[in-house]
Amino acid sequence: MFFGYQQTQWSKNGGQCGVCGDNFADNPRLHEPGGKFYTGIIVRKYDVGQLIDVAVHLTANHKGD
């Protein structure tokens, strides 16, 4: 997930990021309706407060930049 550098997220977007790490300022965002990768298929739905197990595979460390 990459939504721009720290300055983009905090100075320009007030700490917000879009679905799947899309830049919040983009419109339409890549993974939301109208975006290049949006399919409309919901693969899983979670309830507020529900605990889930996840696995993360990091391929690069940008050290917060």
Task: Please name the residue that has the structure tokens 């595979």.
Answer: 57
- Report percent pLDDT > 90 for the chain: 25
User: Which of the two residues, 21 and 16, has the higher pLDDT score?
Assistant: 16
Checking if the pLDDT of 32 tops 60, the result is yes
- Extents of the domains making up the chain: 1-56
Checking if the pLDDT of 31 tops 90, the result is no
Angstrom distance (rounded) from CA 60 to CA 41: 28
Checking if the pLDDT of 41 tops 60, the result is yes
Tokens of 33: 């309706």
Nearest to 14 by CA among 2, 30, 6: 6
